[in-house]
Amino acid sequence: MITLTPKAAGKVKDLLAEKNRDDLALRIFVSPGGCRGFSYGMAWDSPAEDDTVVELGGVRVCLDPMSSVYLEGAEVDFTEALMGGGFTIQNPNAASTCGCGQSFQSKDGEGSPHSCSCGH
């Protein structure tokens, strides 16, 4: 299962409060692409019927079936910095990661690398 650090959960709650939408969940997903084969993504969404939905630190998180496989055991954190702050994902299923942390290659070698916007 995926986890959120207290800082990440707090930031998600703040962002959701700004939207004034308590009906939405945080969707965390992976999609094919990026310079290592898969890219991470996050979006506000309503859970689908086949999603895994969990409450972490007071935040509803939903994962589609494919993303659940690649995010098993991952931890989402949030850091504040003048440069390079934001959400980060520490993923034990990643064999290698892009320099920006937005793309990864899975340990099973799945995914097809493509160029990504970070320049790595």
Structure tokens at 82: 């003048």
Q: Given pLDDT bands bounded at 50, 70 and 90, which one contains residue 54? A: very high
Q: Given pLDDT bands bounded at 50, 70 and 90, which one contains residue 120? A: very low
26-52: pLDDT as tens digits: 999 988 776 667 888 999 999 999 999
Q: In the chain, what are the domains? A: 3-100 (2.60.300.12)
**How far is the CA of 70 from the CAs of 11, 30, 60, 99, in angstroms?**
23, 7, 19, 19
Residue 90 pLDDT exceeds 50: yes
* Longest pairwise C-alpha distance within the chain: 41
Structure pTM? Answer: 0.78
Q: Given pLDDT bands bounded at 50, 70 and 90, which one contains residue 116? A: very low
